[in-house]
Chains A and B, each alone.
Chain A
Amino acid sequence: MPEAGAESHRRRGLSAGSHLLVQAGEYVCALPLRSVRRVLRALTVHPLPGATDELKGLAEFGGEPLPVLELARLVNAPAGGKAAYPVTIVVWVGPQDRRELVGLAADAALEVAEVHLHSVVAGDGGFILGEALVDGALVRVVNLEALGGEG
């Protein structure tokens, strides 16, 4: 008997379509797992004067300064309730040959799921690559490469 949906994904192991699902405000966002370096309890962030709303500030990660961005702001997600277990997800952004680390502040890390890129639709050309359904729920697939370059 064929396995259904998420359960079959979990048993097949990780693949190119593996994404980390995170809660950002009222949105669930999908981050390509190959770009995720670490998921941490929310790092202490030091705000910078004059920063845009998307930039929470600087944190320290592994002895290095790390810019931390507010994922919900990046994807224009409506604000959610107060996060019980906020996290900082350390990810690689930008093109492969010039990638750099940033932290993404999110409300929670949820699970790893398969997102088939051919099923992603209606990207905004910016930080959201598009939307897809995962186990019947809408997720926003984040374009981490777009985050690295100059705007």
Chain B
Amino acid sequence: MSDKTIVIVGQPNSGKSTVFNVLSDIKKSKIAISGSAGIINSSVININANSYNLINLPSTYSLNPNDKSEQITVDYLMNSPVDLVVNVINSSLLTRGLELTIELIELGLPVIVVLNMFDEAESKGISIDLKKLEEKLNVPIVPTRAKYGKGVKELSDACYKHLEYEHKPASTFHYTHHIEKHIQDLENALKPLLEGKNYSRRFASIKLIENPTLIEKDIRNKTEELSNKICKDLLEEHKLDCFETVSYERHHYAMKISEDVLRYREKRKRTLDEKVDDYLLHPVFGHFFLTIFFVLYFFLIFIIGNGLADLVEPLLEDLAILLAPVRDYNEFLWFTLNGAYLGFSGILGIILPYFLPLVFLTALFEETGYLARTAFLMDGIFHKIGLHGKSVVSFVLGFGCSVPAVYSTRMIENKRDRTIAAILIPFVPCSARIAVIFALTAAFASPIWALIIFAFVLLIIAINGKVLSKLLSKPIGLVLEIPKLKVPSLKYSFQKTWLRILDFTKDALVFLVLGSMVLGWIEYFEVSYYINLAFEPIVSYLLGLPNELGSTLVFGFFRKELILVMANQAMGVDSLSKLPLTLNQVITFIVFVTLYFPCFTTFVVIMKEFGKKVVLFSAILSLIVAILSALLFRFGIEMLLI
């Protein structure tokens, strides 16, 4: 007998993940689906010696998905075998939560409602009549304070009871009678069509009116005539489109229920976190605090990262010594192994030490609720380049390393904004490229050039952002919930960090090790000459650089900081200042190197998160931008010097 499946569904900030965490056993947790939509955690739990699969679906406001992760939840509920839905509601936001509950009940799956953060509602002066609510919905209601582990036992008992014993069906929510009539008509029409479907006929009928795209095409086509007629009728009667009519009905139903079950005590005093919030969102103090916060954030990542890198380095050096004797034994083997080693040490020694504190601090940061406030503060400025406020984190991270920056775009729920951010991030000079810029300008020109190049790069980002946002469909504008400020949970953040690191290293390790092995072979077979030849058209003719630099660029694709070393090697000099380049050539070279291609790891991460199309577009765009910019500088300087 296969295990039954329990899924957790809830709106954002309902404490859904906390409920998942207290119910699940971390040792048995695994990542069920990971990818562009984020991570779905699943686990196996035992209740009364029965084992069940527990799945934490991405949070969604309703079953009318607005973005990719909400879509995943809705698809899962409609198409995968689910035996019980645990619907987590933030008690202090009962009315809004009930709208989702009503949809879930309409869906026809067994539902248990968890009123989480029960204490928070009480401190807000809201008390909920549980018995009455249970009567209204006809589903079990369990009040919890998952953060403190309260009510968890009752919840697992309720799940067990609901799964293993008979239970009465949940209430049916009747719409205003003429809409109800339409729903009945559709239900009758659907009777022969819904064999073997997960969802109920009623749900299908309601969605056919409200949001037909959710229902499979063949069913939609067969009822098209009827649903079109209904929509026309509704439009005439209500002067609202079908979606609004139905969702308002549901809204009013939820309002009616919550009016019956809620009791308010008198308005309590403003709590401390609300007072703090006034300052955090203040137009002046807010930005001031934001700046301090980010400086601290990166400072911490830098300090911890440095510490970790220092810890790992001796170990990696020992490993290198271990490898050394192989060279005398077999050169080819050594180049291969050394390549693999370089890739491995790149992950362990360079990326992970910074990635670890970054992921951890970001997990903490996400949980406090400050992210939403950051987005609010930055929205005005970012709007100007066609992005919304949430992208700010990714951009600042990009100055450190593009890889975690691309990862951090997961915080942006809108696909369009995420994609734009991911395409722009590789243009932000990461620490490796900053090193190249500084080293080369210091060796050849005054530091002013470094500043000019920085300013130019920012301009490029702004222009690209503007153009991209014009090309892609119009954004719906920022609508963002600003959740209550919270003290983050260390345990949960550690868990999140662990899962994310695991997810990242799994793929990155393979790619970087393989890539570095290829790099080793290039060195062994001395293919640099052919590479130079292949790149001659771009390097020599377009950019006016010595063609030996061609192979340098290929190395730079793997690791940008390698460019400095490889340039010296390629040109046969032992210090940067001896490179036989003119000022004009150096600046052109720097500009090209800064912009020309996301590095290999970034390339892989973008591909993994966004797919082949986006990564190809990003690569080609950056190449074109780099060539154009380099040309601009090449001829620009020439003109200025004359």
| Chain B binds chain A | no
On A, residues with C-beta under 8 Å from B are: none
On B, residues with C-beta under 8 Å from A are: none
